[in-house]
Amino acid sequence: MRKLSYEEILNTVDGTVEIKEDSVSVKDEEKIREVIDNLIYTAVFGGDREKELSRWLIRAIALDLGIVPSSIHDLYTKGMAKEELPFWFTVPAMNIRGMTYDVMRQIFKTAVEKEVGAFILEIAKSEIGYTDQRPAEYTACVLAAAIKEGFRGPVFIQGDHFQFNAKKYSENPENELENIKKLTKEAIEADFYNIDIDPSTLVDYSKPTLKEQQFHNYINTAKMTAFIREIEPEGVTVSVGGEIGHIGGKNSTPEEFEAFMEGYLEELKKYGENIPHISKISVQTGTEHGGIPLPDGRVAEVKLDFSVLERIGEVARKKYSMAGAVQHGASTLPDELFHKFPEVKTAEIHLATGFQNIIYDYLPEDFKEEIYNWLKTELKNEWKEGWTEQQFIYKTRKKAFGKFKKEFWDLPESVKAPMMEALKNKFNFLFEQLNVFNTKDVVDKYIKPVKINKKKPE
């Protein structure tokens, strides 16, 4: 892969695509697959003009090939909420922090081979920062990987944990709300038609009633839902997710969920009748993001309460026409647990650190040492009292993906090949356990993609 100049970009696609004012017509799909590596590399590492043109071309090519950024809202509020699916599956939502294009290729390879349509590619607010991947870049990687692997159909790109900072909110609530709105607008403009709003950090367990505890959570979830409905593209109902229990805190209960929904729906009505509400709810079941590292570097076993997912999910479907409950922080769970998520009708499961761990397992030792030395120097203020070096590295190494982004992308094929094979095997395993093989037809039944063309850059 290499960066292209502006003229090289145009020469690369000359004769392969016909460029129009706001779209393209693909003349040679095989040739496109040959040149897409350099286009996406330029979209990530090129100059500003080159990035803009490459991203526009990738998006326009994807749309012409039938690869369409979409909202999963109708699958959730019609298929799952009414329990009309031919079989239950749990949608995997995967956070890809580094080597994004290469890793996503493995996801799309598996999707094509196994007829998988129900999967989400996402990035969290915090990850956008420390992995140095703004939404437009992330979308370009998703679409380029889909083009490369011959995928067709709706693609679900999600903004994960668009989270309110409790300290900043206490100092200036309106300013923090505006910051979340600004990020959400950027994400939707970059084809993130699935947004998980997370003011669960504002839940105050010192208050006497459940509704009071959830107050700042539900009013901000309502404000953000209304804002998203104002700015979503015509014909698209963005899938909005809420959260009632901050991950890593106490386990959620159906009573908390109902108290949240009561306040949320009352608040949402202030912005107008019949505004589509959230389609799913994230809950706390006993997990923690990334798992809990032990002093020797191993990850502690987690006692996950599946009944939380089952009971809250049932209330969500029957009372509120939602898909159900969402599990966060699950990628480091033991393999033998994953089949249980569809069994208790979990709507969605978020996976991140497990993929990162595979990448680090296959890194050359000298590169790993360079990263770990950087962590110990630049992030030493994050080294908590009592942590061993292994614990510190395990918790902070995700933050190296931004600093060393190009070095990760430029790893030799001899390193990448076994790493990508291990990742593909992991995706295949998770997709099978979560029961999403052969979900393409189900997705096509409920999701009608809306192609939104954008004007060619000047």
Give pLDDT, residue 295.
Answer: 64
Cα separation, 401 vs 268, in Å, equals 38
Cβ–Cβ under 8 Å, residues 300 and 293: yes
Where are the chain's structural domains?
6-64, 71-360+408-446
Q: Please give the residue that has the higher pLDDT: either 440 or 285.
A: 440
pLDDT score, position 365: 97
Confidence of residue 410 (pLDDT cuts 50, 70, 90): very high
Distances (CA, A) of 448 to 10, 192, 233: 32, 16, 14
Q: What is the dihedral of CA 61, 63, 66, 68, to 10 degrees?
A: 130
Task: Tell me how far the alpha carbon of residue 319 is from its chain's centroid.
Answer: 27
At 331 the pLDDT is 73
Q: Which of 59, 138, 146 is nearest to 97 (CA)?
A: 138
Nearest to residue 13, comparing CAs of 44, 57, 46? 57
Beta bridge partners of 293: 299
CATH fourth-level superfamily of 71-360+408-446: Aldolase class I (3.20.20.70)
**Predicted pLDDT at 287:** 64
Q: What's the rounded mean pLDDT across residues 398-424?
A: 98
Residue-averaged pLDDT of the chain: 94
pLDDT interval class at 47 (50, 70, 90) = very high
Reported confidence tier of residue 298, pLDDT bands at 50, 70, 90 = low
Q: What is the pTM of this model?
A: 0.95
Contacts 24+ apart (CB under 8 A), 166-171: 166/201, 166/202, 169/201, 169/202, 169/216
pLDDT value, residue 144: 98
Bridge partner residues of 290 (DSSP) = none
pLDDT score of 52 more than 80: yes
